[in-house]
């Protein structure tokens, strides 16, 4: 069933595990993610970047595709359709109006006052439609979907102000994680993460999940992380496999066979991530 992220994140926070956000790019990926998460009985957040929505044809296309897959594949788990890094109020409204059940407003490049005012505007609109809202504070570095940023870490006092003044549902504080690949071991600020968690009741979100070792994932969950975003890792596992398939099957031109050759690998990666996030 399509739901907002509030109940599943609350449950994850209470029971000390993390809900995965896997980013989608096309029909096949969406199908693989839904099938594997359904098999593992794990609720899932389907992350859709602005670039991915545009690539797939638009927010309505994505909404209808996801609703259709849930029905036709008989998916029983809770599924959240979430705009990842919405860059403006207008983009968030577009996604909400198309049927998305959750949005992230990323005004993290703005000054705190402006971040608060844009986030609040989105929250006020979203609440009318029972849509959950995630905000970012500090700024997560690295590159995603061709958009690059320099990391600067979130401050506790700013996190407290942002959640108190906007009533946002979940918070992604930048604490050293980056989008894309890490140079060396990730250097996450667990101390501040723990302090933020002790001072706000909203579930915390960890972006840049690719390349964070299992022991750091566990520590992050123990410091209040209830949602972890994975994009690059799926891209790498799928593209490696497809590249291999094309090189070894030069006579094959059926797109279903080519795209589908990455299915098992992508599902394997999803399954491994779910096991890690269950934090047992
Ligand atoms: P990675 O691409 O590093 O896995 O990060 C994904 C993400 O944070 C999406 O918002």
Q: Provide the percentage of residues in the chain whose pLDDT is more than 90.
A: 91
pLDDT level of residue 194 (50, 70, 90 thresholds): very high
77: exposed, middle or buried (C-beta count within 10 Å: 0-12, 13-18, 19+)? middle
**What pLDDT score was predicted for residue 254?**
98
pLDDT level of residue 15 (50, 70, 90 thresholds): very high
Report whether 52 contacts 25 (CB < 8 A).
yes
| Domains of the chain by start residue, with CATH | 6-277 (3.20.20.70)
* Separation between Cα atoms, residue 70 and residue 78, nearest integer Å: 10
**What pLDDT score was predicted for residue 97?**
98
Ligand 1 pocket test target in 208, 212, 237 with most atoms within 8 Å of CB: 208
Q: What are phi and psi of 41, to 5 degrees?
A: 55, 40
**What pLDDT score was predicted for residue 116?**
98
**What is the overall mean pLDDT for the chain?**
96
Nearest-atom number in ligand 1 for the CA of 144 is: 2
**What pLDDT score was predicted for residue 241?**
98
* Separation between Cα atoms, residue 176 and residue 188, nearest integer Å: 5
User: Pick from 150, 141, 162, 235: which is nearest to 204 by CA?
Assistant: 162
User: Pick from 238, 247, 191: which is nearest to 219 by CA?
Assistant: 191
- Has residue 101 got a pLDDT over 90? yes
**What pLDDT score was predicted for residue 127?**
98
Question: Could you read off the pLDDT of 142-173 as tens digits, one per residue?
Answer: 877 777 777 889 999 999 999 999 999 999 99
**What pLDDT score was predicted for residue 140?**
84
* Separation between Cα atoms, residue 102 and residue 191, nearest integer Å: 29
Going by DSSP bridges, is the β-strand pair 225-230/102-105 parallel, antiparallel, or unpaired? unpaired
The structure's pTM equals 0.97
142 pairs with which residues across the strands?
Answer: 149, 179
Question: Could you read off the pLDDT of 200-239 as tens digits, one per residue?
Answer: 999 999 999 999 999 999 999 999 999 999 999 999 999 9
Q: What is the mean pLDDT of residues 173-201?
A: 94
User: 169 an active-site residue?
Assistant: no
Ligand 1 pocket test target in 5, 170, 210 with most atoms within 8 Å of CB: 210
Q: Is 273 in the pocket of ligand 1 (CB under 6 A)?
A: no
Question: Could you read off the pLDDT of 246-272 as tens digits, one per residue?
Answer: 999 999 999 999 999 999 999 999 999
């Amino acid at each position: 069933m399509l739901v907002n992220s509030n109940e599943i994140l609350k449950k994850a926070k209470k029971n000390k595990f993390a809900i995965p956000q896997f980013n989608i790019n096309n029909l096949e990926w969406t199908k693989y993610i839904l099938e594997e998460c359904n098999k593992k009985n794990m609720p899932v957040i389907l992350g859709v970047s602005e670039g991915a929505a545009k690539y797939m044809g638009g927010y309505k296309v994505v909404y209808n595709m996801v609703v259709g897959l849930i029905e036709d594949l008989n998916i029983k788990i809770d599924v959240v359709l979430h705009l990842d890094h919405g860059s403006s109020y207008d983009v968030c409204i577009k996604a909400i109006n198309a049927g998305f059940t959750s949005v992230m407003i990323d005004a993290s490049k703005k000054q705190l006052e402006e971040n608060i005012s844009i986030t609040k505007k989105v929250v006020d609109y979203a609440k009318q439609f029972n849509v959950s809202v995630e905000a970012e504070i500090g700024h997560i570095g690295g590159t995603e979907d061709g958009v690059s940023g320099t990391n600067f870490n979130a401050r506790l006092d700013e996190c407290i102000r942002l959640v108190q003044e906007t009533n946002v549902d979940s918070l992604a504080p930048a604490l050293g994680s980056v989008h894309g690949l890490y140079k060396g071991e990730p250097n996450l600020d667990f101390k501040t993460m723990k302090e933020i968690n002790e001072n706000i009741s909203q579930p915390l979100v960890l972006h840049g999940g690719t390349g964070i070792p299992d022991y750091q994932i566990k520590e992050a969950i123990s410091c209040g992380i209830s949602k972890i975003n994975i994009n690059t890792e799926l891209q790498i596992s799928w593209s490696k496999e497809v590249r291999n398939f094309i090189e070894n099957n030069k006579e094959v031109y059926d797109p279903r066979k080519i795209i589908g050759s990455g299915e098992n690998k992508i599902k394997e990666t999803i399954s491994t991530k779910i096991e890690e996030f269950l934090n047992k």
